[in-house]
Structure 1
Amino acid sequence: MFKVSNQQAINGQAEKAERNYVIQKNDRLELEVYTNQGERLIDPNNYIDQDNPGASGAGAGAEKKKANTYLINEEGILKLPMIAPIKLEGLTIMQAEELLQKEYAKYYQQPFVVLRYTNKRVVVLGTPGGQVIPLANENMRLTEVLALARGINNDARASNIRILRGDTLFVADLTTFEGYKKNNILIKPGDIVYVEPIRRPISEALRDYGPVLSVITSLTTLIVVLISL
């Protein structure tokens, strides 16, 4: 389906996937802010979640408050409550957390910020069918994505799984333990995973031309019956 790229390009892209995800335009981030290095959730007056009526409060008896999500706009800027709009595009999640901690330190003692991206996806094609798999974690591997796509069944070639990343193609063979260790690479947002189906020419031909053969058989039977009269 795709042209195979050289091994050096594959290794280079795999190494890049090892790094923390870099925030991009149109990313949607989930924010949680705590004081005292994570001891207690801040925002007792519900400023952060004031636009989310369904979020639980942070007052007495509230163990955990539902986090809001915020969009990185086309200028790479994130608008958050209580602080000025801040440019996060190009930063890793960890770098963005450290930057936001400095901003919230103007209002709270020893703030602790947790950011998560919530709208990253991988497309899985081929035997599992066209599926969009959300990347719940930053460092999900190929086998995790395949498992979420209902795994590899008897109609799939585990020796020819292809991952298209931009202009680069990876070919993964998961039929052996050594192949698993070598090819269970980290998946990046925007990857396309193609699981090649096993071709069965006879059964596929019967499926494709079955209606035509049925008509021919019926006509032949009718002709034989008419001749025998």
Structure 2
Amino acid sequence: MLFLNCSKIKTQTSNMRKKLSPNIFLFLAFIITISSCVNRKQIVYFQKGAHKSDTIAAIQAYVPKIQPGDILGIAVASLNSTASGFFNPYSASGADASGSGGGAASVATAAPGFLVDSAGTIELPLIGPLKVAGLNTSQARDLIKSHLTTYLKEPTVNVRFLNYKISVLGEVAHPSVYIIPNERITITEAISMAGDLTIYGKRTNVMVIRDVDGKKEFGSINLNGREIFNSPYYYLHSGDVLYVEQGKGKIAASDEAFRIIPLVLTSLSVIILAIYRFR
């Protein structure tokens, strides 16, 4: 009787193993396949937290200061165009007295202009060296204008940055260095210029690398939340580097093993199912 029971148990175990073997392969293939998928919640921007208000206090707008190494476009106009033209040796640079520039950024290219030297000064025709480091462009404009009144009647001055640039790297559609035509850019605008994050970009930890007093500062922004609008990294500074890390989905999808294993397991499952079915 005991022998018959043992034989019956072995038969049931063998049958169960036959049924489970192909199912195990299918299950493993399913697990590996979904491991490379991206959850919708991971890619939605500005998600509302539970019991959170729809109103978020905006951070104070960033006003950049002139620093050594900056290139300034300075355009001068007056009632005497011939006289004012003497102060515009770089008129082809695109800086004019009519405004602060267009609304679209461009890929970084060299532009002529007045270089702020290591002492924080620029050299202007007739006027000579002027200390502009530490000033914003409005203050620099007023300073230059005060010196021009000696030579021009009712001068108009426009000062703008020609090398205000940011770098966008990582999982974005168009990683590059971008020249910003005005003095202000937000992280959302920078991402838009770079063609948005790819589906595999890690939105919960976008890194901002910034030079502060000769040191590298590393900040982190979560694009899934709404708190980015009052983050100190919401407004990007000239020279900032924006880096978007790869998510696990991209790593899995790009790995050769992850691409091949599901196919192999699925093929084996089909073969085993066919063998067990026709035995």
TM-score over 0.5 (shorter chain): yes
CA distance in 1, matches of 2:243, 2:90: 40
Q: Shift of residue 41 of structure 1?
A: 7.4
Q: Shift of residue 185 of structure 1?
A: 0.8
- Percent identity, aligned pairs only, is 23
Mapped pair 1:110 → 2:146: no
Counterpart of 1:204, as a letter, is S
Normalised by the size of structure 2, how large is the TM-score?
A: 0.56
Q: Which residue of 2 aligns with 1:151?
A: 196
Q: Which residue of 2 aligns with 1:169?
A: 218
CA distance in 1, matches of 2:136, 2:64: 6
CA RMSD of aligned residues (A): 3.5
Residues 169, 202 of structure 1: alpha-carbon distance in 2 compared, 3 angstrom cutoff: closer
> Residue 243 of structure 2 aligns to a residue in which SS?
strand
The one-character-per-residue Cα deviations of 1:48-87 (angstroms, maximum 9, x if unpaired) are 34577x689xxxxxx99xx962111222221112322212
CA distance in 2, matches of 1:144, 1:105: 39
Counterpart of 1:158, as a letter, is R
Contact 2:68/2:120, CA 8 A, preserved across alignment: yes
2:183 to 138, 148, 155: 138
Residues 55, 147 of structure 1: alpha-carbon distance in 2 compared, 3 angstrom cutoff: closer
Q: Which residue of 1 aligns with 2:68?
A: 25
2:242 to 179, 193, 198: 193
Contact 2:61/2:235, CA 8 A, preserved across alignment: yes
CA distance in 1, matches of 2:168, 2:191: 8
Contact 1:31/1:68, CA 8 A, preserved across alignment: no
Contact 1:158/1:175, CA 8 A, preserved across alignment: yes
Contact 1:28/1:71, CA 8 A, preserved across alignment: yes
Show structure 1 runs of 5+ residues with no match. 1-13, 57-62, 211-229
> Residue 202 of structure 2 aligns to a residue in which SS?
strand
Residues 207, 144 of structure 1: alpha-carbon distance in 2 compared, 3 angstrom cutoff: farther
Q: Shift of residue 110 of structure 1?
A: 2.6
Residues 41, 188 of structure 1: alpha-carbon distance in 2 compared, 3 angstrom cutoff: farther
CA distance in 1, matches of 2:65, 2:244: 27
1:124-135 paired onto structure 2 within 5 Å: 124-128=168-172, 130-135=175-180
Contact 1:76/1:87, CA 8 A, preserved across alignment: yes
Q: Work out which of the two has the higher radius of gyration on C-alpha atoms and give 1 or 2.
A: 2
Larger fraction in helix:
2
Q: Which residue of 2 aligns with 1:47?
A: 86
Residues 148, 31 of structure 1: alpha-carbon distance in 2 compared, 3 angstrom cutoff: same
Q: Which residue of 2 aligns with 1:86?
A: 130
Counterpart of 1:87, as a letter, is K
Residues 41, 203 of structure 1: alpha-carbon distance in 2 compared, 3 angstrom cutoff: farther
Counterpart of 1:147, as a letter, is S
1:203 to 241, 250, 253: 253
CA distance in 1, matches of 2:242, 2:252: 27
Contact 1:49/1:55, CA 8 A, preserved across alignment: no
CA distance in 2, matches of 1:45, 1:171: 47
> Residue 96 of structure 1 aligns to a residue in which SS?
helix
Contact 2:76/2:84, CA 8 A, preserved across alignment: no
Q: Shift of residue 173 of structure 1?
A: 1.9
CA distance in 2, matches of 1:55, 1:132: 19
Counterpart of 1:205, as a letter, is D
CA distance in 2, matches of 1:83, 1:72: 15
Total equivalences in the alignment: 184
CA distance in 2, matches of 1:207, 1:69: 53
Q: Which residue of 2 aligns with 1:217?
A: none
Q: Shift of residue 206 of structure 1?
A: 1.5
Residues 207, 134 of structure 1: alpha-carbon distance in 2 compared, 3 angstrom cutoff: farther
CA distance in 2, matches of 1:18, 1:30: 22
